[in-house]
Amino acid sequence: MKFSIINGPNLNMLGIREPAIYGNTTYADLVALIHQAAKEEEVQVEILQSNHEGMLVDEIQRAYDKADGIIINPAAYTHTSIAILDALKAVALPAVEVHISNLNERESFRQISYAGQACFHTVMGQGIEGYRTAIKILKQKLLG
């Protein structure tokens, strides 16, 4: 079972950006956690982070041929990108949306998720541990 894990803009700044919201762990810590969780769950992962919307769309499209499911944190593009929503709908792979912070407790402009409309589940407010949760949820979904 292979998952494409896609992270959007500024997530490479984890550990530096707004630690009160996103924590002190770095993007490298997040990548290590994902690899560890994937090993434990016996799934394969491919991880991409990009600050560019089109790169995220390209990666979603690439997942069509190479992955069984998608875990995506589109970051700020969550709230703006119909292109990412359309790409997720196009490939129609089971997808889980992840957010490190709890969007329900944040600004009103973060209350809309376009990408989330193409995801069967959303994990939020668990910090980077949310990616482990997402891997488990996606695996369960694929196992039926």
Give the binding site for ligand DQA (CB under 6 A). 10, 73, 75-76, 78, 99-101, 110
- Let me know if 77 is a catalytic residue: no
Q: Return the axis-axis angle of helices 130-143 and 27-41, rounded to nearest 10°.
A: 30
Does the annotation count 99 as an active-site position?
yes
User: Looking at 22, 77, 114, 131, which residue is catalytic?
Assistant: 22
In angstroms, give the least distance from the CB of 143 to ligand DQA. Answer: 26
Q: C-beta of 77: minimal distance to ligand DQA in Å? A: 8
Which of the residues 27, 77, 99, 131 is marked catalytic?
99
Sign for the pseudo-dihedral over CA of 94, 104, 125, 35? positive
Q: Is the Cβ of residue 3 or residue 22 nearer to ligand DQA in the bound state?
A: 22
Q: For residues 90 and 112, which CB has a smaller minimum distance to ligand DQA in the complex?
A: 112
Q: How far is the CB of 99 from ligand DQA (least distance, A)?
A: 4
Which residues are annotated as catalytic? 22, 99
